Amino acid sequence: MDNTDVIYNLAKILNCDARKNEPMSKHTTFKIGGNADAYIKVSNLSRLSAILKECRASGVDFLLLGKGSNLLVGDEGINSVVLNLDGDFKNITLIDETTIYCGAGASLASLCKFALKFDLSGLEFAWGIPGSVGGAVFMNAGAYDGEMKEVVHSVSHITKDGEIGEIAKENLQFGYRTSVYRKNGCIITGVTFKLKKSPHDEIQKKMDDYIQRRNSKQPLEYPSAGSVFKRPKGNYASALIEKCGLKGKTVGGAQVSEKHAGFIINKSNASAEDVKNLIKEVHDTVLKETGYDLECEIIML
Per-residue pLDDT of the chain (301 residues; tens, 9 = 90+): 578 999 999 999 999 999 999 999 999 999 999 999 999 999 999 999 999 999 999 999 999 999 998 899 999 999 999 999 999 999 999 999 999 999 999 999 999 999 999 999 999 999 999 889 999 999 999 888 899 999 999 999 999 888 999 999 999 999 988 999 999 999 999 999 999 999 999 999 999 999 999 999 999 999 999 999 999 999 999 999 999 999 999 999 999 999 999 999 999 999 999 999 999 999 999 999 999 999 999 999 8
- What pLDDT is recorded for position 104? 98
Residue-wise DSSP of 17-79: EEEEEEEGGGSSTT----EEEEEEEE-SHHHHHHHHHHHHHHT--EEE-SS-TTEE--TT-EE
φ, ψ dihedrals at 205, nearest 5°: -65, -45
Catalytic, 297? Answer: yes
- Is CATH 3.40.190.10 what the domain over 3-87 is classified as, yes or no? no
Catalytic, 177? Answer: yes
- What pLDDT is recorded for position 108? 96
Q: Which of 54, 156, 177, 257 is catalytic?
A: 177
Domain definitions of the chain by residue range: 3-87, 91-202, 219-300
- What pLDDT is recorded for position 88? 97
- What pLDDT is recorded for position 1? 54
CATH topology of domain 219-300: 3.90.78
- What pLDDT is recorded for position 38? 96
- What pLDDT is recorded for position 211? 93
CATH (one of 3.40.1190.20, 3.30.465.10, 3.60.140.10, 3.30.1280.10) for 91-202: 3.30.465.10
Cα 67–Cα 69–Cα 74 angle in degrees, nearest 5: 100
How many CB atoms neighbour CB 85 within 10 A?
A: 27
- Intrachain domains 91-202 and 219-300 with the same fold: no
Residue 71 burial class via C-beta count within 10 angstroms: exposed 0-12, middle 13-18, buried 19 and up: buried
- What pLDDT is recorded for position 301? 87
Q: Which of 107, 224, 227, 257 is catalytic?
A: 227
